[in-house]
Chain A
Amino acid sequence: MRIDEVQRQRDAALAALDAVDDAAALEAWRTAALGRASAVAALLGQIKAVPADERPAFGAAVNAARQALEAAFEARRAALEARALGEALGSDRIDVTLPGTLPPRGGLHPVTRALRRICRIFADMGFQVYQSREVETDDLNFTLLNTPPHHPARDMQDTFYVTDDVVLRTHTSPGQIHAMREHAPEPLRIILPGVVYRNEKITARSEIQFTQIEGLAIGEGITMADLKGTVENFVRRLYGPDRAVRFRASYFPFTEPSAEVDVSCMLCGGRGCQICKGGGWLEIMGCGMVHPTVLANGGYDPDRFTGFAFGGGVERVALLRYGIDDIRHFWANDLRFLEQLR
Chain B
Amino acid sequence: MRVVLSWLKEYVDLDGVAVETLVERWTQAGLEVEGVERIGDWWDRERLLVGAVTAVHPHPNADRLVLADVDYGAGAPHRVVTGAPNLLPLREAGALDRPLKVVFAREGVELFDGHAAGWHKVVLKGRPVRGVMSDAMVCSAKEIGLSDDHEGILILDDGAPVGRPLADVLGDVVVEVAITANMARAMNVVGLARETAAILDRPLRGVDPATGAPLGGAGAEGRGAPRAAGSTPPPAPAATAVVADDAGDLCAVAIEAPDLCPRYTARLVRDVRLGPSPEWLRRRLTLAGMRPIKNVVDVTNYAMLEWGEPLHAFDHDKLVARAGGGVPRIVVRRAAPGERMTTLDGVDRALDGDTLLIADAAGPVAIAGIMGGADTEVDDGTRHVLLEAAAFDFINVRRTSRMLKLTSESAARFGRGVHPALAETGAARAAALLSELAGGRAVGTVADAYPRPPAPVLVTLPLRDIRRTLGVEVPVDAVLGILERLAFDLTHHVDGATGAITAVEAVVPPHRMDVALPVDLIEEVARVYGYDRLPGTRMADPLPPQRDNPTWEVDEAVRDALVAAGLQEAISYRLVAPRAEARLVPGAGDADAGGTPEHVTLRNPISPERAALRRSILTGLLEATAGNLRFRDRVALFELGRVFHPRPGEALPDEPRRLGVVLTGAAEAAGWRTGGGRKLDFYDAKGAVERVLAALEVDAAWSPGRHASFHPGRTAEVRSGDAVLGHVGELHPLVRRQWGLGDDPVAAADLDLDALERAAGRVRPFRPFSVYPAMLRDLAVVVDEAVAAADVEAAIRRAGGALLADVVLFDVYRGAQVGAGKKSLAWSLTLQAPDKTLEGKVADGARARIVKALERELGAAAR
Binding site for B on A (CB under 8 A): 98-99, 101-109, 111-112, 116, 125-126, 128-131, 133-137, 149-153, 155-156, 160-163, 165-166, 168, 183, 186-189, 195, 197, 199-202, 208-209, 217, 219-226, 228-233, 246-251, 253, 256-260, 289, 291-292, 306, 330-336, 338-339, 342
Contacts and interface: CB of A to CB of B under 8 A. Distances in A.
A248 B602 contact: no
B703 interface: no
B652 A247 contact: no
Interface stretch (B28-36, B142-150, B277-285, B314-322): B28-36
B417 to A, nearest CB: 8
Contact of B539 (A112, A230, A334): A230
Contacts of B523: 249, 256-258
A160 B602 contact: yes
A125 B538 CA distance: 9
Contacts, number: 255
B559 interface: yes
B564 A228 contact: no
A222 B519 contact: no
A258 B469 CA distance: 12
B541 A222 contact: yes
Nearest to B640: A112
Contacts of A333: 570-572, 620-621, 623-624, 627-628, 637
B534 A224 contact: yes
B551 interface: yes
A124 B471 CA distance: 22
Interface string B533-546: 01111111111111
A4 B544 CA distance: 102
B641 interface: yes
B21 interface: no
Contacts of A99: 671-672
B569 A134 contact: no
A229 B29 contact: no
B577 to A, nearest CB: 14
B536 A225 contact: yes
A333 B27 CA distance: 38
Contact of B568 (A126, A160, A223, A342): A342
B182 interface: yes
Given A106-B566, A135-B653, A335-B568, A246 B180 contact: no
**Interface core residue of B416, B523, B570, B605 (most chain A CB under 10 Å):** B523
B535 A135 contact: no
A125 B632 CA distance: 43
B98 interface: no
A103 B688 CA distance: 14
Contact of B571 (A111, A200, A248): A111
A251 B183 contact: yes
Q: Name the residue in A136, A156, A224, A260 with the highest tally of chain B Cβ atoms < 10 Å from its Cβ.
A: A224
A335 B563 contact: no
Nearest to A338: B568
B536 A232 contact: yes
B569 A162 contact: no
Contacts of B672: 98-99
Contacts of A229: 535-539
A152 B394 CA distance: 9
A342 B559 CA distance: 12
A152 B417 CA distance: 9
A238 B651 CA distance: 40
B470 interface: yes
A109 B399 CA distance: 42
A133 B655 contact: yes
Contacts of A162: 600-603
A183 B601 CA distance: 33
Interface of B: 27-30, 32, 180-184, 394-395, 398-399, 415-417, 468-472, 517, 519-520, 522-523, 526-527, 531-532, 534-547, 549, 551-552, 556, 559, 562-575, 600-606, 610, 613, 620-621, 623-624, 627-628, 631-632, 634-637, 641-642, 644, 651-653, 655, 668-669, 671-673
B549 A129 contact: yes
B628 A334 contact: yes
Contact of A152 (B28, B415, B564, B610): B415
B537 A228 contact: yes
Contact of B531 (A112, A116, A155, A248): A248
A130 B547 CA distance: 10
Contacts of A248: 27-30, 32, 531
Nearest to B612: A162
Contacts of A335: 568, 628, 632, 635
Nearest to B24: A248
Contacts of B631: 336
B552 A131 contact: yes
Nearest to B527: A249
B662 to A, nearest CB: 11
A136 B652 contact: yes
A107 B569 contact: yes
Contacts of A153: 181
Contacts of B541: 187, 217, 219-222, 226
Contacts of B542: 187, 219
A50 B544 CA distance: 104
Contacts of B547: 128
A219 B522 CA distance: 19
Given A101-B673, A161-B602, A256-B519, A197 B575 contact: yes
27 contacts: A101-B673, A105-B566, A106-B564, A106-B636, A108-B569, A109-B570, A111-B571, A133-B655, A134-B642, A149-B395, A160-B602, A187-B544, A195-B642, A197-B575, A200-B606, A209-B575, A219-B539, A226-B539, A247-B531, A247-B534, A249-B526, A250-B180, A251-B182, A251-B183, A331-B620, A332-B627, A334-B628
A187 B547 CA distance: 13
A334 to B, nearest CB: 7
Contacts of B652: 133, 135-137, 166
B570 A186 contact: no
Given A107-B569, A233-B538, 8 more contacts: A150-B398, A153-B181, A156-B181, A219-B539, A224-B472, A225-B537, A229-B536, A292-B517
A171 B183 CA distance: 22
B180 to A, nearest CB: 4
Contacts of A289: 469, 519
A108 B564 CA distance: 10
A256 B520 contact: yes
Contacts of A251: 30, 180-183
A307 to B, nearest CB: 10
B538 A128 contact: no
Contacts of B637: 333
A156 B556 CA distance: 33
Contacts of A232: 536
Contacts of B606: 199-202, 208
Interface centre among B468, B564, B620 (most CB of A within 10 A): B468
Contacts of B569: 106-109, 112, 338, 342
Nearest to A223: B471
Contact of A260 (B32, B537, B567): B32
Contact of A259 (B531, B564, B602, B627): B531
A150 B655 contact: no
Contacts of A231: 536
Q: Which of B181, B542, B624 has the most CB of A within 10 A?
A: B181
Contacts of B549: 128-130
A109 B546 CA distance: 28
Residue among B536, B538, B564 with the most chain A CB within 10 A?
B536
B543 A189 contact: yes
A342 B537 CA distance: 35
Contacts of B534: 224-225, 228, 247
Contacts of A133: 642, 652, 655
Contact of B527 (A116, A233, A257, A338): A257
A108 B563 contact: yes
Contacts of A189: 539, 543-544
